[in-house]
Amino acid sequence: MSTSPDSSISLVRNATLLVTIGETSFLVDPMFASPGENPSIQNTPNDRRNPLVPMPDVELSYDAVIVTHRHTDHFDDTAKAELDADVPLFCQPAEADAFADEGFTDVRPVDDSVSFGGVTISRTPGRHGHGELAEKMGPVSGFVLEADETLYIAGDTVWYDQVEQTLERFEPDTVVLNGGEAQFNHGEPITMGVADVSTVREATDATVVVVHMEAINHCLLTRDELRSETENVLVPDDGEAITL
């Protein structure tokens, strides 16, 4: 499978990504707040206001926005205020009305697959935790972007059968996982930790990139810990770009 030399992923901060495939760029899960501007995630071991770190100096030039789900560490009030109202915005069907109510005029809910700028965008399942807690966290989605290469953005999910099925169905060249092993005072983690990331690494030949770390108070797994306990996994710093 050929790969466009222009294709890349830039980690902005947390789950905010700038993804370029060919000539089309997507801003994923924009969280633009300054450090401490948003409240802490409650009932967690690390009671600090969010985000924990500033935005890096990254030029944000994009053609469309993708929001995997509307938790504030993926779409916050600052992003809502700064995004152009007419930007093409791809999202879960269940959340389309909320974006429209906020004044966005080009909301494009993805039921299955749509096309934009020469890229096929497919929505994929996610499970934001385990058992009853996952149900309380509400619906979450991943998205697969296909052009000259295939990129799977898993979103806020743990490893479960639907992630495995997505890997088998799309055979992605690159997988982006949300790590950090986010958790509350009680219950299992709601995003991927070392075991989940290692299982994905074993399940695919794709390049595996892990983000969603060291920016939100309930994400307790550090980059250094993940790097030291996994192999052949890319763990970028904020502002770092990876060529696909």
| pLDDT per position as a tens digit, 112-171 | 999 999 999 999 999 999 888 888 888 999 999 999 999 999 999 999 999 999 999 999
Question: Does residue 105 belong to any structural domain of this protein?
Answer: yes
Question: Does residue 98 belong to any structural domain of this protein?
Answer: yes
Question: Does residue 42 belong to any structural domain of this protein?
Answer: yes
What is the spatial distance between Cα 174 and Cα 21, in angstroms, rounded to a whole number?
A: 12
Which pLDDT score is estimated for 179? 98
* Range(s) of the domain holding residue 209: 8-243
Question: Does residue 229 belong to any structural domain of this protein?
Answer: yes
CATH no. for residue 134? 3.60.15.10
Backbone phi, then psi, for 96, in 5-degree steps?
Answer: -60, -45
Split into its structural domains, the chain has a count of: 1
Question: Does residue 1 belong to any structural domain of this protein?
Answer: no
Question: Does residue 3 belong to any structural domain of this protein?
Answer: no
Which pLDDT score is estimated for 132? 86
Question: Does residue 185 belong to any structural domain of this protein?
Answer: yes
Question: Does residue 102 belong to any structural domain of this protein?
Answer: yes
Q: How far is CA 212 from CA 101, 148, 158, in A?
A: 28, 26, 13
Q: Are residues 7 and 20 in contact, defined by beta-carbon separation less than 8 angstroms?
A: yes
Which pLDDT score is estimated for 1? 35
